[in-house]
Amino acid sequence: MKRVALTVMLGLLASAHAQKVQVPVPIGVALAQTSNTALLGQEQVIGAKLAEKHINAHGGINGTPIKLVFQDAAGDENSAINAFQNLITKANVVAIVGPTLSQQAFAADPIAERAKVPVVGPSNTAKGIPQIGDYIARVSAPVAVVAPNAIKQALKIDPKIKKVAVLYAQNDAFSTSETGTFQDAAKAQGLNVATVQKFQTTDTDFTTQVTAVLNSGADLVIISGLAADGGNLVKQLRQLGYKGLIVGGNGLNTSNIFPVCQQYCDGVIIAQAYSPAQPSAANQLFVKEYRAQYKKDPPQFAAQAYAGVQVVADALRALDHQKKLSQWNLDDLRTALNKQILAGKYNTPLGEVRFDKEGEVLQKDFYVAQIKMQDAKNGSFVYLK
Ligand code: 1QQ
């Protein structure tokens, strides 16, 4: 009797370690589906789902379909940690695409690192993300590479700009990282940083900061925050009389800010790591499929989430060629998948993408867009030359 019980127990222990890879192949997606951060996350969910549909319509992983397992990571650290834990231990995913914010990545990515589960960050742009661990890569180019392009464009539009007011959300890791880049880039362009103002991503009243901006005599305002706070800040800057150009960072990079700043969104300049005009076949297919469903061009966050899922699927396909996925045990596959992700080259909507040995994305083309509002509701991102 005792021996039977022991054998059963040992068997259970062994099976936990020799877990097979499920079919369809589960890929975790931990994005902001609720909270204010969903203004950014919604577009990512759309991109990830389009990738799943496209991949499975084209034979999946050499005939085996993938299945995205969504866990809402909302906008805070604990929700992201819970989402990661569920995906890793309950859903037995082979990899995770997420979370939405760098602030969340610094909290949740170490969980995946310890469990040896590869993470592909779809929108984490703060400095230091790939360095969280060996299993952490990102398809979202860092602020240092993307953000300075917006300042160059602002100077092209108005070469007389001299004084800059910089504002940032001090409770958000991405915003503090991006403002550092913006301030360095402004100085490198010979601009005078007249004032630096802080706020919280939860703030709704920016009277103090806007007053300081107006008093500084700045002729360029640069904002690093998220969508709701950033949108409100743009609106209040205009309502209180600021007339100069505004550069918004990546946290404002969504048409979901239109209902927040309405007609006052007009003219905001935002650097882009994606363009619908990127000429690769992979992108033109993505644009076609996105337009068919949403009747407009895909935004950056959708393209990056699509690329994140695609990277995982392409890497799985390469491994499946070596040994059918159903023959792997899960732990071994996760480790091999991480290596393969870093080794591969991917034709994505972002263009050709590779990774350096730390998991930093290597991507060629960057862009700048400017918001054009037709009225208080309808607008678009117009790409600048
Ligand atoms: C980050 C970001 C966000 C603004 C993306 C949604 O770039 O947190 O790193």
Segment 26-36, tens digit of pLDDT = 999 999 999 99
Residues 68 and 100 in one domain: yes
The model's pLDDT over 308-336, given as tens digits with 9 standing for 90+, comes to 999 999 999 999 999 999 999 999 999 99
What local confidence, expressed as pLDDT, does residue 18 receive?
74
Residues 187 and 259 in one domain: yes
Residues 317 and 267 in one domain: no
The per-residue DSSP string of 183-225 comes to HHHHHHTT-EEEEEEEE-TT----HHHHHHHHHHT-SEEEEE-
Among 355, 352, 384, 356, CA closest to 368: 384
Collect all residues with Cβ–Cβ distance below 8 Å to 190 and sequence separation of at least 6: none
Which domain-ending residue is among 250, 272, 294?
A: 272
What local confidence, expressed as pLDDT, does residue 154 receive?
98
Residues 29 and 122 in one domain: yes
To test ligand 1's pocket by mutation, which of 45, 140, 145, 257 has the most ligand atoms within 8 angstroms of CB?
A: 140
Residue with token string 């935002």: 270
Q: Is residue 301 part of a domain?
A: yes
Among 122, 123, 94, 99, CA closest to 110: 99
Which domain-ending residue is among 272, 307, 341?
A: 272
123 pocket-lining for ligand 1 (C-beta < 6 Å): yes
Q: Which atom of ligand 1 is nearest to the CA of 172?
A: 8
Q: What is the DSSP letter of 299?
A: P
Q: Is residue 375 part of a domain?
A: no
Residue with token string 């993307």: 146
The model's pLDDT over 153-199, given as tens digits with 9 standing for 90+, comes to 999 999 999 999 999 999 999 999 999 999 999 999 999 999 999 99
Q: How far from chain centre, in Å, is Cα 334? A: 22
Amino acid at 310: Q
148 pocket-lining for ligand 1 (C-beta < 6 Å): no
Residues 55 and 119 in one domain: yes
Q: Which atom of ligand 1 is nearest to the CA of 103?
A: 8
- From CA 46, how far away is CA 68, in angstroms rounded? 12
Residues 284 and 314 in one domain: yes
Query: What is the predicted ipTM?
Result: 0.99
What length is written for the chain?
Answer: 385
Classify 70 as helix, strand or coil: strand
Q: Is residue 377 part of a domain?
A: no
Residues 105 and 154 in one domain: no
Residues 212 and 250 in one domain: yes
The helix-helix angle for 38-57 and 227-239 (nearest 10°) equals: 130
Number of domains in the chain: 2
To test ligand 1's pocket by mutation, which of 125, 127, 226, 253 has the most ligand atoms within 8 angstroms of CB?
A: 125
251 pocket-lining for ligand 1 (C-beta < 6 Å): yes
Collect all residues with Cβ–Cβ distance below 8 Å to 118 and sequence separation of at least 6: 94, 95, 96, 112, 135, 137, 312, 334, 337, 338, 341
Q: Which atom of ligand 1 is nearest to the CA of 32?
A: 6
To test ligand 1's pocket by mutation, which of 250, 254, 272 has the most ligand atoms within 8 angstroms of CB?
A: 250
Q: Which atom of ligand 1 is nearest to the CA of 123?
A: 5
Q: Is residue 75 part of a domain?
A: yes
Q: Assess contact for 127 and 346: CB atoms under 8 A.
A: no
Burial class (CB in 10 A: 0-12, 13-18, 19+), 378: exposed
Q: Which atom of ligand 1 is nearest to the CA of 41?
A: 6
Q: Is residue 370 part of a domain?
A: no
Q: Residue 116 belongs to what domain range?
A: 2-141+279-362
Taking the centre of ligand 1 as the mean of its atom positions, its distance from the CA of residue 102, in whole angstroms, is 6
Alpha carbon dihedral 38, 44, 50, 52, in 10-degree steps, equals: -100
Q: Assess contact for 219 and 191: CB atoms under 8 A.
A: no
Residue stretches of the chain with pLDDT short of 70: 1-17
Which residue spans within 225-378 are E strands per DSSP?
Answer: 245-248, 269-272, 346-348, 351-355, 361-362, 367-373
Taking the centre of ligand 1 as the mean of its atom positions, its distance from the CA of residue 67, in whole angstroms, is 25
36 pocket-lining for ligand 1 (C-beta < 6 Å): no
102 pocket-lining for ligand 1 (C-beta < 6 Å): yes
Residues 268 and 156 in one domain: yes
Q: Is residue 381 part of a domain?
A: no
Amino acid at 118: P
Residues 130 and 16 in one domain: yes
Q: Is residue 321 part of a domain?
A: yes
Domain at 352, CATH number: 3.40.50.2300
Q: Is residue 347 part of a domain?
A: yes
Residues 240 and 308 in one domain: no
CA atoms within 13 A on the CB side of 134: 11
Residues 196 and 315 in one domain: no
What local confidence, expressed as pLDDT, does residue 4 receive?
55
Taking the centre of ligand 1 as the mean of its atom positions, its distance from the CA of residue 232, in whole angstroms, is 18
Which domain-ending residue is among 246, 272, 298?
A: 272
What local confidence, expressed as pLDDT, does residue 1 receive?
45
